[in-house]
Amino acid sequence: MARNRLADETSPYLLQHADNPVDWRPWGPAALAQAEAAGKPILLSVGYAACHWCHVMAHECFEDAAIAGLMNELFVNIKVDREERPDIDTIYQTALAALGQQGGWPLTMFLTPEGKPFWGGTYFPPEARYNRPGFPEVLRAVRATYDREPEKVAKNVDALTDALAKISANRAGGDVGLDTLDQVAERLAREIDPFWGGVGQAPKFPHSAILQLLWRAYLRTGQAPYLTAVTKTLDQMCQGGIYDHLGGGFARYSTDAEWLAPHFEKMLYDNAQMIDVLVEVWQGTGSTLYATRIAETIDWIAREMVAEGGGFAATLDADSEGEEGRYYVWSAPEIGHLLGDRAEVFGRVYDVGIGGNWEGKTILNRRHDTALLSDAEEAALAADRAVLKTARDRRVRPGWDDKVLSDWNGLAIAAIAQAGLVFDRPDWVALAERAFAFVTDTMVVDGRLAHAWRAGKGRHRATLDGLANMARAALALHEATGDPLYLDQALARVEEADAHYADDSGGGYFFTADDAEALIVRTKTASDNPVPAGNGTLMGVFARLFALTGEAKWLDRADRLIAAFSGELGRNFFPLATFLNNIELLRRTAHVVVVGPRDDPATRALVRAAVEPAAPHRLLTRLDPDRSLPRTHPAAGKGMRDGRPAAYLCVGMTCQAPVTDPETLRRHLDQHAGRP
C-alpha cells in the first residue's frame, strides 16, 4: 500500500510509521467514525519516538506485510504519540492497570468503535516468546471474542468504565500540616536502597520530587538519614551509567538496581527535574560533583536539545543503527586505541574491562567509587573524555524528536532559570528566556497555549501541566531577571486554567480544557507521573503569587487545592510529592525583597546572599528604587536605607526590619529555615 494516513502528521513518532503496511490512522473523530461504519473494533497503539520497545514491535510486527494485513482485516488501527497526546495515553494506561497489567510503551489497547477499552497489553512479539503470545494469535483471539462473546466484551467495558471514572474524581480532605510531611518523609525514606540509593530495586527511576521531599525534610528536621538517602542516590546517579559522562544529561531510567545500565533514551523532562533537585542539594552541600553535573546537563541541553526557534526539543532516542545504546557504549580496545597510555588509568576509573560490563560492551561509570579525585587527576580525565567524545561524535547519532512541548519546556525553563540565578550564570538565564519567548510568541494563539509545536504547526490545546509549568517558568524568570512582564505571563496562564480547566464543583483542575476534544473521560489528579502533576505545580504557583502580591485570593486558591486533594494521602501518598512539596512552600515561604539599583555591587551582594543558602522555600524579588510593590504586599512602600540597597525578609504578611549587610541576610534566612 502507499503511505498511510500518518504521512500528513507532524509528530516524528507518527511519521516513523507512515510507511508501514498497516493502515494507520491518527486519533480523531474520523477514525472513530470509520470503526463505527465498518463495525470493527479499534486497535490503539501508543508510543513515542525515543522508545526502544516501540521500535522493536514496529520492526517485528508493523513492518511485516502478513501481520499488517491481519491488522487491517480485523481492526481499525489508530496510532498515537503519547507525548503529543498525554490525555489519551493517561486514559488507556489507566485502563490497562485496571486489567491488572503493568503499563508502559508500546501500549496496545483494543477498543469498541466508541473508544471504550475492553482488553490490552504492551509489547507483543511476532510469535510466542518471552512468556508472551504472538501478536497474530492475539489479533485473532481478540477479534473472535469481540464477534462471538459480546456479553464478555460488554462486561469488561463496564468494569473499565467504572475504573476510569475514578481518575476524574478527587478525594477531598482537610488541612495538611508540616507534621504530615514529616510522616510521609519518614515512610518514603524506608523505600530508599541503602546500598545504591534510589527508590526500591530494579528498574530505578530518578523520582526527583521524592528526593526533594526527603531533602526538605532534612532541612526542616536536621535528621541525618534524610541527607544520606538523598546524597547516596544523587552520588550514584551522577557517577552511574544512567549519566552520560561524555555528553552530559541523564537517561530515562536504570534497568538494574546499581544505576549501571540505562534505558538509553534521554528525555527533556527528566533532565529538567534532575537540574532542579541537584541545584537544591548543592545549595546545602556545596558538592563539586553536583555543580559539575548541573553545568554539563545544561550545556547538553543548549548544545543538543534546542529546536528551531529556541524552544527545547523533546527527546533523544535510545537506539542508533537499530541497536539500543550503540551510540553510547565502548569496548576496551577502542578506548585503548584512542587514549593510548592513558587507557589504563581511565579504564580503572570508568569501569572499562576486556569483557565489558553490559552485554559484552562497556557503559562508562564510576558507581563503585563516587568520590572525585584531585583537581589534577580530574582535569586529566576530562581531557580523556573529550577525546572519546570527539570519536563518539563521528558515530551515527540517535534519533532526535524535535517537537516542542509546552509542559516539558516549562519544566526546563524554570530549572535552567533557577540554576542561572543560583550560580550567577546570565547565559543560562538567557537560554531559558529564549525558550520561554518561543513558547509564548509561537505557541500562544488568541491567548490560548498549544501543547505541541513542530514543522511550523501548533497541535492540540495545552494540558493543565503545560499551563502550570509555563506559569512556574514565568515566575522563575521573574525571580532571575526582575522583569515584571514575566509576572504578567504567569497570571495569563493561571487565568487560562481558571477559564477552561477548573472544576467548580469538585475542586481542582482537569487535565484537559473544556473545549478540547471530548474523550471517554476527563481526568483530574494531583498524582505525579514521570512529570509533576499540574495540580501540584499550581499549588506552588499560588504560593508564589501570594508572596509576590500579598493578595489573599491566592492563599484561598491554594487552600482550596489542598482541600480538594488532601484526602488522596490516605489512599496513596507516594505520587503526591510535588503536591506536598508545594504545601511546604506555601507554609514556609520566605520572600526576600531586595531594593537597589541593579548594577550596584551592594545590590548584587544582597541578591547573592538571598539565593545561595539552602532555602527551597525562598522567593526573591529584585526591585529598582523607582518601582513599587502592590499595595497589598507587606513590603509595599519600603525602599533603600540611607541611600544604600536594602533587603526585606517577609514571611506571610510580616516583614523583618531592613538589612543592608549580606551576612545578616544569610543569618536571617538560616534562622527562618530552623538552622542555628
Rounded Cα gap, residues 488 and 475, in angstroms: 9
Residue type, 451: H
Rounded Cα gap, residues 234 and 216, in angstroms: 15
pLDDT in tens, 143-161: 999 999 999 999 999 999 9
User: CA torsion angle for 380, 382, 384, 386 (degrees, to 10)?
Assistant: -140
Rounded Cα gap, residues 23 and 98, in angstroms: 29
- Whether the per-residue pLDDT at 218 is higher than 60: the answer is yes
Alpha helices in 397-454 (DSSP H): 406-422, 426-442
Residue type, 655: C
CB 182 within 8 A of CB 571: no
Read off the pLDDT of each residue in 337-364 and give the average, rounded to a whole number.
97
The reported pLDDT for the residue numbered 486 is 98
Residue 130, Cβ density class (10 Å: 0-12 exposed, 13-18 middle, ≥19 buried): exposed
Choose among 595, 594, 588: nearest CA to 609: 594
CB 525 within 8 A of CB 503: no
Share of the chain above pLDDT 70, in %: 99
Rounded Cα gap, residues 434 and 391, in angstroms: 31
Read off the pLDDT of each residue in 226-246 and give the average, rounded to a whole number.
98
pTM: 0.97
Rounded Cα gap, residues 638 and 630, in angstroms: 11
Residue 103, Cβ density class (10 Å: 0-12 exposed, 13-18 middle, ≥19 buried): middle
- Nine cell digits for residue 171: 478525594
Rounded Cα gap, residues 238 and 287, in angstroms: 11
**Around Cβ 147, how many Cβ atoms within 10 Å?**
13
Mean pLDDT of the chain: 96
Integer-rounded Cα Rg, in Å, for the chain is: 26
Choose among 522, 514, 409: nearest CA to 465: 409
- Whether the per-residue pLDDT at 264 is higher than 80: the answer is yes
> Alpha carbon 14 to chain centroid distance?
22
pLDDT in tens, 378-431: 999 999 999 999 999 999 999 999 999 999 999 999 999 999 999 999 999 999
Enumerate residues 6+ apart whose C-beta is below 8 A from 654. Answer: 634
Residue type, 199: V
- Nine cell digits for residue 527: 498524582
Read off the pLDDT of each residue in 211-220 and give the average, rounded to a whole number.
97
Q: What angle do CA 466, 469, 470 make, to 5 degrees?
A: 80
Rounded Cα gap, residues 300 and 268, in angstroms: 11
Least confident of 1-10, 353-362, 445-454, 536-545: 1-10
Rounded Cα gap, residues 467 and 492, in angstroms: 9
Burial call 586-602: b when 16+ CB within 10 Å, e when fewer: bebbbbbbbbbeeeeeb
- Whether the per-residue pLDDT at 482 is higher than 90: the answer is yes
Tell me the pLDDT band of 675, cut-offs 50, 70 and 90. Answer: low
Read off the pLDDT of each residue in 114-143 and give the average, rounded to a whole number.
95
Rounded Cα gap, residues 272 and 412, in angstroms: 5
Residue type, 141: A
- Please tell me what DSSP assigns to residue 58: I
CA–CA distance from 181 to each of 188, 436, 500, 658 (Å)? 10, 33, 31, 32
- Nine cell digits for residue 440: 509564548
Read off the pLDDT of each residue in 627-647 and give the average, rounded to a whole number.
94
Query: Residue with C-alpha cell 501508543?
Result: 46
- Whether the per-residue pLDDT at 676 is higher than 60: the answer is no
The sheet carrying 654-655 orders its strands as: 618-623, 590-595, 646-651, 654-655
The reported pLDDT for the residue numbered 550 is 95
Alpha helices in 325-405 (DSSP H): 332-339, 343-349, 375-392
Least confident of 111-115, 164-168, 271-275, 361-365: 164-168
Q: Return the percent helix, strand and coil in the chain, to nearest 5.
A: 50, 15, 35
CB 24 within 8 A of CB 78: yes
- Nine cell digits for residue 241: 551509567
**Around Cβ 459, how many Cβ atoms within 10 Å?**
19
- Whether the per-residue pLDDT at 2 is higher than 80: the answer is no
Tell me the pLDDT band of 130, cut-offs 50, 70 and 90. Answer: confident
- Whether the per-residue pLDDT at 79 is higher than 50: the answer is yes
Choose among 664, 631, 625: nearest CA to 645: 625
Tell me the pLDDT band of 169, cut-offs 50, 70 and 90. Answer: confident
What is residue 592's three-state secondary structure?
strand
End-to-end CA distance of the chain: 73
Choose among 463, 434, 439: nearest CA to 451: 463
DSSP assignment of 228-268, as one string? HHHHHHHHHHHHSTTB-TTT--B-SEESSTTS-SEE--EEH
Tell me the torsion sign for CA atoms 663, 664, 669, 673.
positive
> Alpha carbon 488 to chain centroid distance?
24
Structural domains of the chain, ranges and CATH numbers in brackets: 5-168 (3.40.30.10), 328-392 (no CATH), 590-673 (3.40.30)
Rounded Cα gap, residues 35 and 191, in angstroms: 46
